[in-house]
Amino acid sequence: MATAEELINSARDRMVKSVEHARVEFATVRTGRASASLLDRIEVDYYGTQTPLRQLSTINVPEPRMLTVQPFDPSSIKAIEKAIQESDLGLTPSNDGKLIRLPIPQLTEERRKELVKVVRGMAEEGRVAVRNVRRDAIHHLKELVDKSEVGKDEEHRAEERVQKLTDDHTKKIDELLERKEAEILEV
């Protein structure tokens, strides 16, 4: 059976993964400059299978406000364009038969505010994930007490450590959110 220390270490690892997931999600939200990671969430219907765009093409950033997508299979160009248009990125693709160009328009004030709402929602999902890890860890600690494998004092100390981990990791998510909001609102 797991010890209190193992439960705390497991909770820490899972919280770190939740923070990292939030960081990756934030990277997919568009700011004023082009970044290949903007297209990370795009999946293309490739011969009936949802396939990540990265696996079907080479994505480049030739200039600060332009992305190019070069499909490995030129016949998939229409499906890729469709997937980009249907995404929430607000980008309009144009192609020359071999290469898709994605100009990154200046963000309007209204669009910036929408994106801030999107990243706040992502941050809340990250905080909820961290709190779920805390809930699981405390539940398992209570099971250890019920089985008399851990004393009440040790359980209390472990719960305090889990709460501190929770606070630290939600703070990290809040810091990531703050940076991303500043990046979005920067004109």
Q: Which among 2, 25, 8, 26 is positioned nearest to 137, based on CA atoms?
A: 8
According to DSSP, the residues that pair with 68 across neighbouring strands are 60, 101
Tell me, what's the pLDDT at 168?
96
Task: Classify strands 49-52 and 66-71 as parallel, antiparallel or unpaired.
Answer: unpaired
pLDDT at 13: 95
Separation between Cα atoms, residue 108 and residue 187, nearest integer Å? 9
Q: Which residues of the chain register pLDDT less than 50? A: none
- Tell me how many helices (H) and strands (E) the chain has: 5, 6
pLDDT digits (tens, 9 = 90+) for 167-181: 999 999 999 999 999
* Side-chain half-sphere exposure of 90, counting CA atoms within 13 A: 14
Q: Quick one: pLDDT at residue 1?
A: 55
pLDDT at 9: 93
Contacts of 103 (CB under 8 A, 6+ apart): 65, 66, 91, 92, 94
pLDDT value of position 187: 64
Rg (CA), the chain: 22
- pLDDT tens column, 38-77: 888 889 998 989 999 899 999 998 988 888 999 999 899 9
